[in-house]
Amino acid sequence: MSDLGRESGGTVYGCSIAETDEPASVLLPGHDVPLGRYTTVRRLLPQRRRRMVGAWCFVDHFGPEDVTTGEGMRVPPHPHTGLQTVTWLVAGEVLHRDTIGSVATIHPGDLNLMTAGRGIAHSEESPAQRPPTLHGVQLWVALPSQARHGEPAFEHHEHLPVVDVAGGRLTVLVGALHGTAESARSPATAYTPLLAAELLLDAGADVDLPLDTTYEHAVLLLAGDATVDGDHVAADTMVYVGPGTQVLALRAGESGVRALLLGGEPFEEQLVMWWNFVARSHDEIVAMRGDWEAGREFGTVEGYAGDPLPAPAMPTVRLKPRGRSG
Ligand code: MN
């Protein structure tokens, strides 16, 4: 496997845009991050080499994990600003509560989309009665300047468009697949041109997906293995392809593949991401942290049995705004 690996196998590839100096495709392995006392997740974004894909600025893959013993997922009330959270499950259930009164249990095939705007807090926990396995992803979308101070909102979608391809299907979580009808656009609210879709392919299925050339994309394998644009990829690796790519060539391995396709227009604003906040400056982060610690601005999550999460201490150096690729 090579960062620049791009073998031709009779497939038509797009060309990268001439003015970028990025390679056509880059393999980005996830790394383990402990989350709370009981769980380890694999983090795919941000990474040193690539902080964003479109407005997608955070990607965690959790499970599959046996949650029959212990507490399962138990994330106490914590704040968010300047972002949307997207939760998608492969297995299990998660109960969401937030400060605008939403209470929603998410199941595989449902989409939870929380828009923090100027500020919201939520808790996420495994219900007392729950299936034995928990497996899914949580993603963050950075809100552009014109939307980041808006009102908080929560959406729970149970009916998402499904697009059939040879040997499989795609469920459209956010946005629309390139070249599909407007009726196949996800009902989820987005504030920048954005795409997320779950791809399920049978063993050996071979698919050429047309891409919007104004977007950059990434494919994250959640289960199984596949060849993506000539690179053999296993679960928990993300393949990034830059703007200008016309076709993504996917060939499922022996056991088929479940993958997440993310895309979006390159996000040109620089961000300061710290803890659960997405802002534009160190001073904004200090103010947001202060509001949370003082119990201001975010409201109260009703019904969660436990205390809210305290914010960690600020780092001793000033946080610097960073761009999408480093
Ligand atoms: Mn959260």
The tens digit of pLDDT for each residue in 272-322 reads: 999 999 999 999 999 999 999 999 999 999 999 999 999 999 999 999 999
Q: Is the pLDDT of residue 1 over 50?
A: no
Measured in Å, residue 203 CA sits from the centre of ligand 1 at 35
Confidence of residue 17 (pLDDT cuts 50, 70, 90): very low
Find the farthest-apart pair of alpha carbons in the chain and give their distance in angstroms, rounded: 61
239 close to 3: Cβ distance less than 8 angstroms: no
Is 305 among the domain residues? no
Lookup: tokens for 243: 């703007």
Mean pLDDT of 69-95: 96
Provide the number of structural domains found in the chain. 1
Instruction: Answer whether residue 20 shows pLDDT above 60.
Output: no
Question: Tens digits of per-residue pLDDT, 139-164?
Answer: 999 999 999 999 999 999 999 999 99
Residue 216 placed within a domain: yes
Span from the CA of 104 to the centroid of ligand 1 (angstroms): 14
25 CA to centre of ligand 1 in angstroms: 30
Residue 135 belongs to what domain range? Answer: 11-264
Ligand 1 center to 162 CA (angstroms): 27
Whole-number pLDDT of residue 25: 85
SS3 string, 275-318, reads CCEEECCHHHHHHHHHHHHCCCCCCCCCCCCCCCCCCCCCCCCC
Residue 37 neighbours by CB under 8 Å, 6+ apart: none
Ligand 1 centroid–CA 115 distance in Å is 11
Give the model's pLDDT for residue 34: 86
Residue 77 lies in a domain: yes
Place of tokens 């908080």: 152
**Can you list the alpha helix ranges (DSSP code H) found in 155-293?**
282-293
List C-alpha distances in Å: 27 to 10, 16, 168, 303, 321.
21, 16, 24, 42, 25
**Residue 120 belongs to some domain of the structure:** yes
For residue 100, being part of any structural domain is answered with: yes
- We report the CATH number of the domain holding residue 203 as 2.60.120.10
Report how far apart, in Å, the C-alpha atoms of 101 and of each of 113, 126, 132, 284 are.
Answer: 14, 18, 28, 26
Q: Is residue 42 part of a domain?
A: yes
Percent helix, strand and coil across the chain, each to the nearest 5: 5, 45, 50
Q: Cα separations (Å) of 173 from 78, 221, 234, 289? A: 24, 16, 22, 31
Alpha carbon of 164 to ligand 1 centroid (Å): 32
Q: Is the pLDDT of residue 36 over 80?
A: no
Cis peptide before 29 (omega within 30 of 0): no
Residue 308 lies in a domain: no
Structural domain includes residue 258: yes
